[in-house]
Amino acid sequence: MCGILAVLGVADVSLAKRSRIIELSRRLRHRGPDWSGIHCYQDCYLAHQRLAIVDPTSGDQPLYNEDKSIVVTVNGEIYNHEELKAKLKSHQFQTGSDCEVIAHLYEEYGEEFVDMLDGMFAFVLLDTRDKSFIAARDAIGICPLYMGWGLDGSVWFSSEMKALSDDCERFISFPPGHLYSSKTGGLRRWYNPPWFSESIPSTSYDPLHIRQSFEKAVIKRLMTDVPFGVLLSGGLDSSLVASVVSRHLAETKVAEQWGNKLHTFCIGLKGSPDLRAAKEVADYLGTVHHELHFTVQEGIDALEEVIYHIETYDVTTIRASTPMFLMSRKIKSLGVKMVLSGEGSDEIFGGYLYFHKAPNKKEFHEETCRKIKSLHLYDCLRANKATSAWGVEARVPFLDKNFINVAMDIDPEWKMIRRDLGRIEKWVLRNAFDDEEKPYLPKHILYRQKEQFSDGVGYSWIDGLKDHANEHISDSMMMNASFVYPENTPATKEAYYYRTVFEKFFPKNAARLTVPGGPSVACSTAKAVEWDAAWSKNLDPSGRAALGVHDAAYDDPPEKSPASANPVSDSGFRQALGESVLKTVDSATAV
């Protein structure tokens, strides 16, 4: 994963301005520690911090067409670059980089080429022939991108907010699946799949089609010239990724370079559900498994750095990003620069435990659509920035464009959780890989209950975070929260604590508006909270907040007291309950 910064149309073209842009680009060096580059053309600057995954020797950026009239700075991977190059026989390529194809596609097809790209990407392209430029972000928003405006009329683009927040009067999170063109001066959506309208599909469930589509999505992501691994939590999604890689690794080009032994990585508190399950899966698949541990205190000590890197104050994201951030540091120390991960499956298949309460297939399907559309603000943001903080790239096969189209075209009646028919959450995915002759996974792993990553690393992690927040945030601070933070007012002491840290690094109003808000239970959208009246009294993003569903659910909360500033999340409430005794769960999964 790389870092890009583009500044176009600046009023000041002095050497001091160039130095300032280089200085700002350095704020992204954690994303790309391997090389730095900058291209200056009149009042336009394109800078790049490179993490070399494909063609490490010659693929430095920015990249160009043959006569260097078209310049592009890219963060991402284009998995079908060889296929696209075959369509550009009249063009001469200067590097082996998969991203160089973008400059030539623009030269050949103009602005309408973006939908031809199969991959994850955020890029800015400058056409020096007429000094026009475009910027685009991948379909789901796997790669982060921000857009800002300077007081001098300049337009800014950056992989992370920290590189433009000080110099822009206003900035936004660039919407996924969109393209900005300087010729029209506006954004337009280039990604228009059938599911985007949220109309109810009627295609019958074909388990073999699901399996084959996912295997193709995994295999294409093994495009690498550097060592790689798989993040393995022991849950369904990451276990399937590891299983498919193990099954096909020997057939790939990467096996010739790095061998056919897969490395897997898991992190958790000692004795956590994830560690046990991940080891069992790793043993079953025969991977070289790396079990990493952290303590609650080590996680708490890292919180400020985590919030600085992931650029959010969302509670769920911070809870899950912290162990992922710590794990990525260890992974990089072992010489691994790319990992595959299991994000996206729960959104596509309705895998979160609150989907048990979906009243009908229409609401089920609409909720999955809403969840996919907002992934760039949550799980994609976490997976990308928590790993990129240490120069590691995360690839997410469940968010393959073709696989999403296949999975979202299924009649949602098949995805509904039907205990009377033996269908638990994500049954359509589990059943697709339930192969009696050549099993992908042990049955009890294949049918293990969903556990969110922040829960699966150890339940005491979230409890420790709440206790830490209680020590720093007083009841009087909570009573005045709506005055101090009128936008997205923190509803819990934990949320308030994260907000104070975020505001220290990103004090502008534009920064706080890049973070979503609204009530949530077990990672639901605000709309899905309406599915169960009890949830409105237990608004916590942990999977254990799915009362009556999770095997280790929180106790049912009492009626909310008007005098209580923080009735659900603080330790005082837990003591009032008599401190819930949570069952030990042997069946819990993370992403």
Give dist(CA 162, CA 124) in Å, integer: 18
- CA 178 to chain CA mean position, Å: 17
The 8-class DSSP code of residue 508 comes to S
Q: For tokens 């949530």, what's the residue?
A: 520
Q: What SS3 class is residue 17?
A: helix
Q: How do beta strands 132-137 and 146-149 pair?
A: unpaired
Give dist(CA 118, CA 385) in Å, integer: 21
Q: Which residues are catalytic?
A: 2
| Euclidean distance between the first and the last CA atom of the chain, given in angstroms as a whole number | 21
CA angle in degrees (0–180, nearest 5) for 365-310-274: 65
pLDDT in tens, the chain (591 residues): 799 999 999 999 999 999 999 999 999 999 999 999 999 999 999 999 999 998 888 878 999 999 999 999 999 999 999 999 999 999 999 999 999 999 999 999 999 999 999 999 999 999 999 999 999 999 999 999 999 999 999 999 999 999 999 999 999 999 999 999 999 999 999 999 999 999 999 999 999 999 999 999 999 999 999 999 999 999 999 999 999 999 999 988 888 888 889 999 999 999 888 899 999 999 999 999 999 999 999 999 999 999 999 999 999 999 999 999 999 999 999 999 999 999 999 999 999 989 999 999 999 999 999 999 999 999 999 999 999 999 999 999 999 999 999 999 999 999 999 989 989 999 999 999 999 999 999 998 999 876 655 556 767 899 999 999 999 999 999 999 999 999 999 999 999 999 999 999 999 999 999 999 877 766 878 888 888 878 767 666 555 555 556 555 555 443 333 333 333 333 332 332 232 222 222 333 333
Q: What is the pLDDT of residue 425?
A: 94
Report the half-sphere exposure of 197 (CA within 13 A, side-chain side): 7
The 3-state secondary structure of 170-229, one letter per residue: EEEECCCCEEEECCCCEEEECCCCHHHHCCCCCECCCHHHHHHHHHHHHHHCCCCCCCEE
Q: For tokens 């339930």, what's the residue?
A: 434
Give me the phi and psi of 260, to 5 degrees please: -105, 25
Positive or negative torsion for Cα 65, 176, 7, 42: positive
Q: Which helix (H) or strand (E) holds 26?
A: helix 15-26
Give me the phi and psi of 531, to 5 degrees please: -65, -25
Q: How do beta strands 35-41 and 63-64 pair?
A: unpaired
Nearest to 49 by CA among 65, 62, 67: 62
Give me the phi and psi of 494, to 5 degrees please: -60, -45
Q: Which amino acid is at 367?
A: E
Sequential DSSP letters for 407-432 = HHTB-GGGTS-BGGGTB-TTHHHHHH
Q: Which amino acid is at 246?
A: S
Measured torsion, CA atoms of residues 471, 476, 482, 487, in degrees rounded to the nearest 10: -20
Other C-beta atoms closer than 10 Å to the C-beta of 398 total 25
Helices vs. strands in the chain: H and E counts, helices first: 23, 17
Q: What is the pLDDT of residue 157?
A: 98
Q: Which helix (H) or strand (E) holds 36?
A: strand 35-41
Nearest to 202 by CA among 455, 412, 466, 514: 412
Tokens for 431?
Answer: 């059943």
Q: What is the pLDDT of residue 554?
A: 52
Q: Give the sheet arrangement for strand 35-41, strand by strand.
A: 35-41, 44-50, 3-8, 155-158, 146-149, 170-173
Give dist(CA 559, CA 539) in Å, integer: 13
Q: What is the pLDDT of residue 559?
A: 38
Sequential DSSP letters for 314-351 = -HHHHHHHHHHHHHHHHHHHTT--EEE--TTHHHHHT-
Q: What is the pTM of this model?
A: 0.90
Q: What is the pLDDT of residue 564?
A: 34
Measured torsion, CA atoms of residues 50, 52, 53, 57, in degrees rounded to the nearest 10: 140
Give dist(CA 348, CA 38) in Å, integer: 39
Q: What is the pLDDT of residue 458?
A: 64
Q: For tokens 């079953």, what's the residue?
A: 284
What angle do the packed helices 315-333 and 379-388 form, to 10 degrees?
A: 30
CA angle in degrees (0–180, nearest 5) for 236-244-254: 135
The answer to whether residues 190 and 201 touch, using CB atoms and an 8 Å cutoff, is: no
Q: What is the pLDDT of residue 517?
A: 83
Residue 487 CB-density burial (10 A; 0-12 exposed, 13-18 middle, 19+ buried): exposed
Give dist(CA 228, CA 254) in Å, integer: 9
Nearest to 231 by CA among 390, 395, 53, 121: 395
Give me the phi and psi of 559, to 5 degrees please: -60, 140
Q: What SS3 class is residue 301?
A: helix
The answer to whether residues 278 and 289 touch, using CB atoms and an 8 Å cutoff, is: yes
Q: What is the pLDDT of residue 583?
A: 29
The answer to whether residues 377 and 310 touch, using CB atoms and an 8 Å cutoff, is: no
The answer to whether residues 274 and 232 touch, using CB atoms and an 8 Å cutoff, is: no
